[in-house]
Amino acid sequence: MTHPLQSTEPVARPWAAPHLKLAQIPLLWQFAVIIAAGIALSALWGGALRWPDIWVIPLASWITTFFEWLGNDAGIGGYEFRDLTRFLADLLKQPLRWAEYVLYRGVRPLDLPPVPWVAIVIGVGILGHWAGGRKLAFFAAGGLLYLAVFGLWRDSMRTLAIVVVAVPFAVVIGLWLGIWAEKSRRAASVVSPMFDLMQATPHMAYLVPVVILFGFGQVPALIATVVFAMPPMARCVMLALQTVPSAITEAGKMSGCTPRQLLWKVQIPAGKRILMLGVNQVVMQTLAMAVIASLVGATGLGQKLLTSLQQLKLGAAVEQGLGIVMIAVVLDRITQAWANRPTDYAARGRSWAYRHRHALSFGAVLVVSVLLAGIFKEVSVLPKGMTVTFGTQLDDAVRWFAKETYGVIQPVRDFITVNMLIPLRNFFLAVPWPIVVAMVGAAGLRLAGRGTAMLCMGLVLAIVLFGFWEPAVLTVYLVLSAVIICICIGVPIGIWAFRSPRVARPIMAICDTLQTFPSFIYLIPVIMLLKVGDLANIVAILAYATVPAIRYTYLGLKRIPDVTIEAAITNGATPMQRLLKVELPVALPEIMLGINQTIMMALSMVAITALIGSRDLGQEIYRALPTADTGRGILAGLAIAAIGIVADRLIQGWANTRKKQLGVK
Amino acid sequence: MNHTKIAVLALAAFAPLSAMAEVESDEPIVIVQNNWTSQLVLSNVLGQMLESKGYTVEYIPSDSQLQFSAIANGDMHVQVEAWEGSMKTAFEKALDDGMVDAGTHEAVTREEWWIPDYVLEKCPEAGNWEGLNACADIFKTAETAPKGRFLGPPADWGKNYAARIDALNMDFVAINVGQAATLWAELQSAYDREEPIVLFNWTPNFIESKFDGQFVDFPEPEEACFEDEAWGPNPDATGDCGAPRSAWLKKAAWSGMADEWPGAWQVVQNMNFNNEQIAHAALLVDVEGMSPEDAASEWISENQDLVDGWLQ
């Protein structure tokens, strides 16, 4: 088919050289030109290597000053902004105080005891029974029993107090934001990218502004937790409302629902399962914040864990970390079961007592245990003599392991550090920034179009302009090294789990534990074995970030339709051919998503590996907290988010292009 | 059962109204807790003393730098251990904003380079900076070779060891860790293998009860060290000296404390620990494995006369 406009063009301008589009030049050639030009530029102008300090836009110090002003002086009339934040904090303090009274503190001036641990353990068991039956009941009670037996009860209840208050707040705010974003396009266009950004920014970066505005203690910790745990809820609400079948909505409209009734009586109940998934996510995120929130004054397991690490009591830290995992897993299972809980039709028409049997039996347990607690102290608080610990044994085991394997590990560590990591780092630091900006732009243009290219170039340029280039380069160096190793380890393990279902279960269980386990704990053994240095940073990142690579590879392979695999087998493909020519290409989109997640995880771990000692963006965030340097913390956090976004867009662009080439949808 | 519950709830709601002992205010006194042992025990000792007088006490964990502005704001009320070496700047800044200096402990503190005793077998003169420098070679690692490695404190603890190394022309490279636990993990690992290590340490802390070692002596600092190039071992540099061998350890409090809880304020002012007492308090936790709360009770019962004096 001829196109009338196009066909005239060469005739109109015969003198022009054959028009070569940028897209027709191979990307490698483009890169070569960019590199040559960049090197030439940096030879002429030192600023291409190191952006002059006097040209750095001092946004960081502006933000810091702004927050200091907000926290100290801002106000309208006689009211200070600070009064508002204090008022908010006081408001939040009330429910928290109640949770603390009930769970562990008791009402001190009245000498009323807290709920005895026995009652809470059995109570959670009853809740498990209500939500998911007998199996869950035993599991939930067993999980809480761990906390009591290992002497973690009081601290667990401190942590739980924050969880039971933070979760409803996060759920309500998330619900409201989600509904709002679903109703109004304009709200969605603000809220949605903000959530993207919040998820890509390490949690620690939120802490500084919270401290400036709300001070230190349980309440600021609660606020930081809610801010962090709320986005998944809002996302799930948006998803739930979007996926309500139009037939249901129509039926609601036809029966004369007002918009309010339509929302609350029809759409929200119809989307219950996705909403409950949101609640579940909120619970998990709340517990993921347990350790980090203790940096701004949360008491409980997280604080004890950091103190244990500080005192080199690794075993105690592991027990406390497992305590957090226990609470997380129990709440996870209960909320999941609750989401899938069928309506109890059998109970209809039965007696009041039968329908409220769970509440009644809990009441009975409570009364009996309170009475018993008056007689036997053990019922109220398990005495120390009756608790167990494997702390010191574990400490000794780790020390023994570090000592015995050091002779083997040391030369390997030195070789990798001196011959691979340090040259790689020096290379990264020597790359002029204009080359990076231009290469990111060229790749973005080729893979995902002009918009993406502009966005990615803008983000990289912003890192340069705001003075975070060097820490950002060091971050990319660490994360890139870690991600490559993650892929080399994770993808084969994922394939292995896919090929043999027998190993799949334990591998997935290990993955779950690795992700819920507070990542701070990995740091100590890593330092003992590898000493302070880049390799220690990378290995600590690995422990956490390999999980998505495994998981997504496994899931991606599992979702391949049987027909496709059958077709490969009937065509006589060897297992290796099947893997390389059929399974991996088909699973590629999912695997790429896993690699994307791996990068995100690695970036978020950077803030935590800063505790080992480095000069990257994580260190900037970590340092910002004690010095109350809000701007430095927020901008370093956003710089990490920027790196994540650039990587995400380029990988997605590449994956889409590749999918088109392979004809995979 | 429901009645009990309702009664509990109702009473709890009015709890703040029902005053108990003869204390001035039922508002909880917030005691700052940091993440090292001696501070945890000492803060519990103070808390238990105040509770015995009828005050309500709350413990809130805090960062060692940010705590002072929180005390100045009145978010938190007492800190029992403020160290000259690492907290002086933040401490003095907060004094202008509404925090008060609640007195100095008898105990003195020191922050300096530190070596385990087994290092002396390979390098007998290592207790002194010149002797240590002479065997810098045994401290080298792959990254720092041919120089020795000095494992330094987190970069923001207000100490520039790279500058001191330069000023004293030492053959060391300062590698800064991100947090104290990293120092201890390195020390534990090296100690188990008797590998030479020189790192940043301070006293009083739990390290002295778990590991045998000593501080490295540097030239005692004087003001001239930082102003006069001619002073000290290097005639061409300032800063060619160590940290003070006996620095102060103070208590800090919110300025409103004296009005709100005069009795408690008096106790805070009276409280005074010496090095031995602090080391023993830390030992109860780090060596005997008690929790900080139990260790505080134990410490109080062992030092009842002293405590009674403070409570007067």
Fold agreement (A81-114+150-342, A469-665): yes
Distance between CA atoms of residues B242 and B95, nearest Å: 27
Fold agreement (B3-108+248-310, B110-226): yes
| Helix, strand, coil percent values for chain B (each to nearest 5) | 45, 20, 35
What would the pLDDT profile of A241-281 be if each residue is shown by its tens digit? 888 888 888 998 898 888 888 888 888 888 888 888 888 88
For chain B, the structural domain boundaries read 3-108+248-310, 110-226
**Residue A618: φ, ψ to 5°:** -60, -40
Q: What is the pLDDT of residue B10?
A: 45
Q: What is the pLDDT of residue B170?
A: 94
Q: Are A333 and A125 in contact (CB under 8 A)?
A: no
Min Cα distance A326 → chain B (Å) is 22
Q: Do the Cβ atoms of A312 and B184 come within 8 Å?
A: yes
What would the pLDDT profile of A6-53 be if each residue is shown by its tens digit? 444 444 444 445 555 666 778 888 888 888 888 888 888 888 888 888
Please give the CATH topology (third level) of the domain spanning A81-114+150-342: MetI-like fold (1.10.3720)
Q: Tell me the sheet residues that pair with B82.
A: B250
Helices A584-609/A185-200 angle, 10° precision: 70
Of B129, B62, B51, B123, nearest to B90 by C-alpha is B62
Q: What is the pLDDT of residue A646?
A: 93
Q: Which two tokens stand for residue A65?
A: 């000053």
Average pLDDT over residues A546-554: 89
- Among the partner-chain residues B1, B156, B176, the one whose CB lies closest to the CB of A627 is B156
Q: What angle do CA A333, A335, A337 make, to 5 degrees?
A: 65
**Residue B160: φ, ψ to 5°:** -110, 90
Q: What is the pLDDT of residue A581?
A: 86
Nearest CA in chain A to B176: A613
- Among the partner-chain residues B56, B66, B186, the one whose CB lies closest to the CB of A626 is B66
For chain A, the structural domain boundaries read 81-114+150-342, 390-430, 469-665
Distance between CA atoms of residues A391 and A397, nearest Å: 10
| Residue to substitute from B93, B188, B290, B297, interface A, most A β-carbons within 10 A | B188
Sequence-distant (≥ 6) Cβ neighbours of residue A105 within 8 angstroms:
A114
Distance between CA atoms of residues A653 and B300, nearest Å: 67
Distance between CA atoms of residues A547 and A559, nearest Å: 18
What's chain B's average pLDDT?
86
Q: Which two tokens stand for residue A451?
A: 């918009």
Q: For strand B198-203 and strand B148-152, is the pairing parallel, antiparallel, or unpaired?
A: parallel
Predicted confidence band of residue A375 (pLDDT cuts 50, 70, 90)? confident
Q: For residue B247, is pLDDT > 80?
A: yes
Largest CA distance in chain B: 82
Of A224, A304, A205, A229, nearest to A625 by C-alpha is A205
Q: Which residues on A lie below 8 Å from B27 (Cβ)?
A: none
| Residue to substitute from A73, A155, A307, interface B, most B β-carbons within 10 A | A307
What would the pLDDT profile of B187-211 be if each residue is shown by its tens digit? 999 999 999 999 999 888 778 878 9
Distance between CA atoms of residues A166 and A172, nearest Å: 10
Q: For strand B78-83 and strand B110-116, is the pairing parallel, antiparallel, or unpaired?
A: unpaired
The SS3 call for residue B255 is: coil
Q: What is the DSSP string of A415-480?
A: HIIIIIIHHHHHHHHHS-HHHHHHHHHHHHHHHH-HHHHHHHHHHHHHHHHTT-HHHHHHHHHHHH
Question: Could you give the percent of chain A with pLDDT greater than 70?
Answer: 95
Instruction: Cite the DSSP H helix spans in A311-390.
Output: 314-339, 352-355, 357-375, 377-380
**How many residues in total does chain B contain?**
312
Sequence-distant (≥ 6) Cβ neighbours of residue B211 within 8 angstroms:
B116, B187, B191
What would the pLDDT profile of B65-99 be if each residue is shown by its tens digit? 778 888 988 888 999 999 887 788 789 888 988 89
Distance between CA atoms of residues B85 and B161, nearest Å: 13
Sequence-distant (≥ 6) Cβ neighbours of residue B182 within 8 angstroms:
A523, A527, A532, A611, A612, A613
What's chain A's average pLDDT?
85
What would the pLDDT profile of A488-538 be if each residue is shown by its tens digit? 999 999 999 998 889 988 998 888 777 778 888 888 889 999 999 899 999
CA A558 to chain centre: 24
Which contiguous run of DSSP H or E holds residue B250?
Answer: strand B249-254
* ipTM field: 0.80
Distance between CA atoms of residues B175 and A531, nearest Å: 11
Distance between CA atoms of residues A41 and A48, nearest Å: 7
Q: What is the pLDDT of residue A455?
A: 92
Distance between CA atoms of residues A146 and A152, nearest Å: 8
Q: For residue B22, is pLDDT > 70?
A: no
Environment class of residue A138 by beta-carbon count within 10 Å: exposed (0-12), middle (13-18) or buried (19+)?
A: middle
Q: Do the Cβ atoms of A528 and B60 come within 8 Å?
A: no
Q: What angle do CA B172, B175, B177 make, to 5 degrees?
A: 150
Q: What angle do CA A165, A168, A174 make, to 5 degrees?
A: 130
Q: For strand B172-176 and strand B148-152, is the pairing parallel, antiparallel, or unpaired?
A: parallel
Radius of gyration of chain B (CA): 23
Q: Are A234 and A177 in contact (CB under 8 A)?
A: yes
Predicted confidence band of residue A202 (pLDDT cuts 50, 70, 90)? confident
Distance between CA atoms of residues A225 and A193, nearest Å: 20
Q: Are B190 and A403 in contact (CB under 8 A)?
A: no
Q: In what order do the strands lie in the sheet with B148-152?
A: B172-176, B148-152, B198-203, B110-116, B213-215
Radius of gyration of chain A (CA): 28
Q: Do the Cβ atoms of B178 and A363 come within 8 Å?
A: no
Q: Which two tokens stand for residue B274?
A: 């010496």
Q: Do the Cβ atoms of B143 and A533 come within 8 Å?
A: yes
The SS3 call for residue B29 is: strand
Question: Could you give the percent of chain A with pLDDT greater than 90?
Answer: 28
Distance between CA atoms of residues A511 and A183, nearest Å: 38
**Residue A362: φ, ψ to 5°:** -65, -40
Q: What is the pLDDT of residue A222?
A: 92
Q: Do the Cβ atoms of A110 and B182 come within 8 Å?
A: no
Predicted confidence band of residue A206 (pLDDT cuts 50, 70, 90)? confident
Q: What is the pLDDT of residue B66?
A: 77
What CATH architecture applies to the domain B110-226?
3-Layer(aba) Sandwich (3.40)
Average pLDDT over residues A469-485: 94
Which contiguous run of DSSP H or E holds residue A76?
Answer: strand A75-76
Q: What is the pLDDT of residue B44?
A: 95
Distance between CA atoms of residues A618 and A283, nearest Å: 26
Q: Which residues on B lie below 8 Å from A626 (Cβ)?
A: 63-66, 156
Q: Is domain B3-108+248-310 classified as CATH 3.30.56.10?
A: no
- Among the partner-chain residues B4, B12, B178, the one whose CB lies closest to the CB of A613 is B178
Predicted confidence band of residue A5 (pLDDT cuts 50, 70, 90)? very low
What would the pLDDT profile of A135-153 be if each residue is shown by its tens digit? 999 999 999 999 999 989 9
Q: Which two tokens stand for residue B30?
A: 């917030």
Q: Which two tokens stand for residue B138?
A: 């045994």
Q: Is domain A469-665 classified as CATH 1.10.3720.10?
A: yes
Which contiguous run of DSSP H or E holds residue A395?
Answer: helix A391-415
Of A493-497, A623-627, B120-124, B223-227, the range with the lowest mean pLDDT is A623-627
Distance between CA atoms of residues A209 and B66, nearest Å: 13
Q: Which residues on A lie below 8 Å from B285 (Cβ)?
A: 311
Q: Which two tokens stand for residue B185?
A: 């993990």
Min Cα distance B119 → chain A (Å) is 18
Q: What is the pLDDT of residue A660?
A: 78
> Cα-Cα-Cα-Cα dihedral of A264, A267, A269, A270, to 10°?
170
Q: Do the Cβ atoms of A216 and B154 come within 8 Å?
A: no
Q: What number of other Cβ atoms are within 10 A of residue A643's Cβ?
A: 23
Signed CA dihedral, B175, B180, B182, B183: sign only: positive
Min Cα distance A188 → chain B (Å) is 37
**How many residues in total does chain A contain?**
665
Q: What is the DSSP string of B85-146?
A: HHHHHHHHHHHHHTEEEEEE-S--BEEEEEEETTHHHH-TTTTBHHHHHHTGGGG--TTTTT
Q: What angle do CA B288, B290, B291 make, to 5 degrees?
A: 150
Q: Are A549 and A486 in contact (CB under 8 A)?
A: yes
Nearest CA in chain A to B144: A418
Q: Tell me the sheet residues that pair with B83.
A: B249
Q: Are A301 and A186 in contact (CB under 8 A)?
A: no
Average pLDDT over residues B284-307: 88
- Among the partner-chain residues B59, B142, B185, the one whose CB lies closest to the CB of A527 is B185
Distance between CA atoms of residues A358 and B66, nearest Å: 47
Q: What is the pLDDT of residue A662?
A: 67
Predicted confidence band of residue A67 (pLDDT cuts 50, 70, 90)? confident
Sequence-distant (≥ 6) Cβ neighbours of residue B176 within 8 angstroms:
A613, B152, B153, B154, B155
Predicted confidence band of residue A108 (pLDDT cuts 50, 70, 90)? low
